[in-house]
Amino acid sequence: MSKPMYERVRANPKFQELVVKRSRMAWRLSAIVLAAYYGFIAIVAFAPQLLHTSLSGGRTSVGVLAGAGIIVLSWILTGLYVRRANTEFDDLNNEILREAL
């Protein structure tokens, strides 16, 4: 793209909207993941006996379930981001490019 085209894209209010929406979503998802990971580490540090607790008397502990839950949470959040990126963000991006041409 040429310099004038970059300037038209940057001047487009939809571009600013895209930047704000994408940044806001990224920060929110990052905060959720960080809270989950740091929460897990805090439990490991300050209440390890909680993670050793057996689930219904079996061999699987609460810690294993919590670790698996964090992994599944990360997958779900990634899926949410990909879905929104492939729909709303891509549509907005295409509109911006069409208007810049």
This prediction's pTM: 0.80
**4 pLDDT tier (thresholds 50, 70, 90):** confident
User: What pLDDT does 55 receive?
Assistant: 86
Cα(48)–Cα(57) distance, rounded to whole angstroms?
18
pLDDT at 100: 84
Average of pLDDT values for 27-36? Answer: 97
Place of tokens 């940057």: 10
pLDDT tens for 34-89 read: 999 999 999 999 999 999 999 888 889 999 999 999 999 999 999 999 999 999 99
pLDDT of 96 over the 70 cut: yes
- Grade residue 6 by pLDDT with cuts at 50, 70 and 90: confident
User: Looking at residue 1, what is its pLDDT?
Assistant: 61
Coil, strand or helix at 72: helix
**Tally of CA atoms within 13 A in the half-sphere of 39 that contains its CB:** 11
Residue 91's identity, in one-letter code, is D
Q: Is the dihedral of CA 85, 90, 91, 93 positive or negative?
A: positive
Q: Of 83, 79, 82, 48, nearest to 66 (Cα)?
A: 48
